[in-house]
Amino acid sequence: MRTITCLILAASLVPVASLAQDRGRPDGIRAGGFIIKPSITVGESYDSNIFLEDSGVTDSFITTIAPRLMIETNWNRHALLLETGAEFGFFTSGSDDDYIDYDASLEGVLDITRRAYISGGFGYTHGHEARGTVDVPGTATEPVEFDGFSGDILGEVSSGRFRFQAFANAEDLNFDDVSLIGGGSGNEDDRDRFAVETGVEVGYSVRRGYEAFIRGSYLVTDYDDAVDDTGVDRDSTGFRVLGGLKVDLTRLIEASVGVGYLAAFYDDSTLEDVNGFAIDAEVLWFITPITAIFFTANRGINETTLTDASSDVTTEAEIGVKHELRRNLTLRASGGYADIDYDGISRNDQLYFAGLGAGWKLTRRLTIEPFYDFRLRDSNLSSEDFTDHRVTLSVTYGF
């Protein structure tokens, strides 16, 4: 997992963002103070390497069906959003890797004054980690399923040039055991954990559209088992401090760039503590009204249960462009790189990825999205290299 608050570990369908769709999105079905937005997406993919193997790879066509329902309020003050959905995946290579994922969430905003509000929510996800994922046993005969519960709350108040924010988020993950080749099962209970992050952020408006900020958070991760099957206690505490600048210039650029320091300390002396620089950046620049460039960069600490590894420290960046070729046709291209270093063991992975796609609105409710994804992992462990190509065509009908 890339962040501790992320419950969706993998998605087989990633809609292409569309500038045209943002402006022409259907209004949904109005019911009093609520707007109901049902949709369904059907996709067909070809994946050249479904298990992310170095040699002897297995390819497959994958059919996905993803119904979704959003119910949001249409109030002058305050807001609620209920969202639920599922995704069914079917592989032509065999039914062992078929999956059913589903989720539900409720989010809300309480407006106290014009310059103060409280927001929060909670959610549930039943998901899966595909075979070939780093923490899934190499001899697994099927994906590893998991259940995740999450909750968050945030309060913000502004006074003069200052903005003050306090936040907390929590996540509980429970992984199912998985059957293994040759019989028996892999104990995934070692990965079950609860994590909570609390923090504050203070911003100062330097000038209109520019805000300097500093953000600090404290993280506690508590594994359900006192020790794992190898006798290691994986509980930890950590912190992250960032300072930087936020820019919000209407119709031109939206950006948040912060740099700082992060650290994690493990209860077990056999696990290596981690510390180093941190970065969190998101930039969206509209170079013309119909063309936008986006950039993201992040360096963070992620949980792993690889033997003798305390964590993985991932440094990644992605850049891309979105262009509205016509009002109903948007093109998108992106590429990126990630360096994944496993602390406590000698493994280091270099991951390269790229994507190319389009969003074509045939009608107000019907959208077709073809796209291509490429991934290449170059590891210092030769058996962990892989190359993967995936081509997908999806069709979405929604209100």
Q: With 80 as the cut, is the pLDDT of residue 6 above it?
A: no
The Cα–Cα gap between 134 and 304 comes to: 8
What are the CA-CA distances from residue 344 to residues 231, 290, 332 (Å)?
A: 16, 47, 39
SS3 content of the chain, % helix, strand, coil (to 5): 5, 65, 30
Task: Report pLDDT digits (tens) over 199-208.
Answer: 999 999 999 9
Token representation of residue 76? 């002058």
* Listed range (19-33, 90-104, 261-275, 297-311) with the worst mean pLDDT: 19-33
Q: Is residue 115's pLDDT more than 50?
A: yes
For residue 384, report the phi and psi dihedrals to the nearest 5 degrees. -100, 5
Residue 256 DSSP symbol: E
Tokens read off for 67 = 């119904």
pLDDT at 143 over 80: yes
For residues 88 and 126, is the Cβ–Cβ distance under 8 A? no
Instruction: Provide the residue count of the chain.
Output: 399
**C-beta atoms surrounding 135 within 10 Å:** 18
C-alpha to C-alpha distance for 101 and 232, rounded to whole angstroms: 31
Q: What is the mean pLDDT of the chain?
A: 92
SS3 384: helix
The per-residue pLDDT for range 220-253, each reduced to its tens digit, is 999 999 999 889 999 999 999 999 999 999 889 9
One DSSP character per residue, 323-375 reads: EEEETTEEEEEEEEEEEEEEETSS-EEEEEEEEEEEEEESSSSEEEEEEEEEE
The whole-angstrom separation of Cα 24 and Cα 360 is 12
pLDDT given for residue 9 in this prediction: 31
The answer to whether residue 18 scores a pLDDT higher than 50 is no
Burial of 64 (0-12, 13-18, 19+ CB in 10 A): buried
Specify the amino acid at residue 71: I
Confidence of residue 23 (pLDDT cuts 50, 70, 90): very low
37-54: average pLDDT: 97
Q: Which residue has the higher pLDDT, 26 or 71?
A: 71
Least confident of 25-29, 58-62, 318-322: 25-29
Residue 27 pLDDT level (bands cut at 50, 70, 90)? confident
CB atoms within 10 A of CB 187: 14
Q: Which CATH architecture has domain 19-398?
A: Beta Barrel (2.40)
Q: Using one digit for the tens of pLDDT, what is the confidence trace for 150-171?
A: 999 999 999 999 999 999 999 9
Please, are residues 205 and 237 in contact by the beta-carbon 8 Å criterion?
no
**Does the structure show a pLDDT above 60 at 279?**
yes
Read off the pLDDT of residues 172-217 as tens digits, 9 standing for 90 and up: 999 999 999 988 889 999 999 999 999 999 999 999 999 999 999 9
Q: Token pair 């949709």 is at which residue?
A: 39
- How confident is the model over 125-152, as a mean pLDDT? 95
Determine the pLDDT at residue 7: 31
Query: For position 294, what pLDDT does the model report?
Result: 97
